[in-house]
Amino acid sequence: MNAPSTSVYGRPDYLPYDEARATYSKSPYAVTKLATEYYSKVYYDLHGLPTVSLRNFTMYGPRMRPNTAITNFGSRCLDREPPVVYGDGDQTRDFTYIDDAIDVNRALLETDAVDGEALNVVSTDNIKIREFAEHVIAETGSDVETVHEDAKDADARPTHSDVSKARELLGYEPSIGIREGLSLFIDWYEDNREWYRPMALQS
């Protein structure tokens, strides 16, 4: 199983993203991720190696990598510091809760229907970043207000995923919405703050 990135889509010419959409990678990071997809596909085509590239839309949950917007927003709010949003915050994002990602990986163990393919993986809901920050503030009980900084050129403004392919080939049905998943993560984070800290705040 290869885990590239949804950044391979670049800035969209239509939404939601489906796997047939052309890729327009807009950063060196995205280009390297797209290259891993090509390598995986080539090894499947030439050698029959069963590979699948899962385009996970911002995976999150307990023990997630500690350098994302979710962990940054959460840690800042719990420390009574304002979350920082780049741009106006109206950009939208999809997220994938870890339980949904695990369901897809387990399903792949039971079938070869997706071998050699790329597959979108995402949970339910689509949310604006400013609404996401407001939800983190509410969940943490913080009295801070969101701070805005200049948008980053390489960031896609909207993202939204079509999971029809995963539904058809794997019977995948995402079950955890962003607001529910975020509440679960914040609860876990509060219980594990002694050892789990975002990289930006580690000494």
- Residue 26: CB atoms within 10 Å: 16
29 catalytic, yes or no? yes
List 194's β-bridge partners, or say none: none
CA distance 192 to 75: 12
Phi then psi dihedrals of residue 58, to 5 deg: 40, 80
- Count each helix (H run) and each strand (E run) in the chain, helices first: 6, 8
Given the DSSP bridges, would you call strands 92-93 and 127-128 parallel, antiparallel or unpaired? antiparallel
Cα distances (angstroms) measured from residue 26 to each of 7, 12, 48, 97: 8, 11, 31, 25
Q: Dihedral sign for Cα 136, 138, 143, 145, please.
A: positive
Planar angle of CA 163, 164, 168, nearest 5 degrees? 120
Catalytic residue among 14, 24, 29, 97: 29
CA distance 62 to 36: 26
Active site residues: 29
